[in-house]
């Protein structure tokens, strides 16, 4: 049974746009402000394994995944990938530093990861390229989640 209402469609759109924009900003920051070399160095200092490999992968997932969320295309796989990198950041870096971000805590990665996971489970909503391109197939998948 499809229980999507205009309000839930609007909520999914709002969540996709907001979270997508934040991920795009973080991806661009890693590419342009910090640079990939700087990001890899920071990752290495944080104890992230294979930091030189992880940095461009994480930056790319954030940038491309964020764009995909914004346009609502391949929303579920993009959102799962984003949730996965946030889980990695949570458990590898932030969990031991408490809640608050000013202390290196996990509040931001938890919020971003939970929002991404919610989108992966709920799907993109009616106002998305996924709905326009895949229609009923995508709705059938949404009912399984």
What are 90-131's pLDDT values in tens digits? Answer: 999 999 999 999 999 999 999 999 999 999 999 999 999 999
Whether 13 is covered by a domain: the verdict is: yes
Whether 114 is covered by a domain: the verdict is: yes
Q: How far is CA 114 from CA 25, 120, 134, in A?
A: 18, 10, 25
Query: How many angstroms separate the CA atoms of 95 and 83, rounded?
Result: 15
User: Tokens for 56?
Assistant: 């461009």
- Note the pTM of the prediction, 2 decimals: 0.90
Whether 128 is covered by a domain: the verdict is: yes
Q: In the chain, how many domains are there?
A: 1
Residue 63 has a pLDDT of: 98
- 119 CB-near residues (< 8 Å, 6+ apart): 12, 15, 16, 19, 69, 75, 76, 79
Whether 88 is covered by a domain: the verdict is: yes
Whether 1 is covered by a domain: the verdict is: no
Whether 18 is covered by a domain: the verdict is: yes
Residue 34 has a pLDDT of: 97
Q: Which of 9, 123, 108 is nearest to 69 (CA)?
A: 123
Residues of the chain with pLDDT under 50: 1, 138-145
Query: How many angstroms separate the CA atoms of 138 and 76, rounded?
Result: 10
Q: Give the max Cα distance, the chain.
A: 49
Q: Which domain holds residue 63?
A: 6-144
């Amino acid at each position: 049974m499809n229980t999507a209402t205009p309000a839930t469609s609007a909520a999914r759109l709002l969540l996709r746009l907001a979270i997508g924009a934040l991920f795009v900003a973080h991806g661009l920051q890693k590419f342009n402000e910090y640079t990939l070399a700087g990001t890899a160095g920071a990752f290495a200092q944080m104890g992230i394994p294979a930091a030189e490999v992880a940095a461009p992968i994480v930056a790319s997932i954030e940038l491309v995944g964020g764009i995909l969320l914004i346009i609502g295309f391949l929303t579920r796989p993009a959102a799962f990938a984003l949730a996965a990198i946030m889980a990695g950041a949570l458990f590898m870096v932030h969990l031991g530093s408490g809640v608050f971000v000013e202390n290196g805590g996990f509040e931001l990665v938890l919020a971003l990861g939970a929002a991404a996971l919610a989108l992966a489970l709920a799907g993109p909503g009616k106002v998305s390229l996924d709905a326009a391109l895949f229609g009923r197939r995508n709705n059938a998948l949404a009912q399984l989640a």
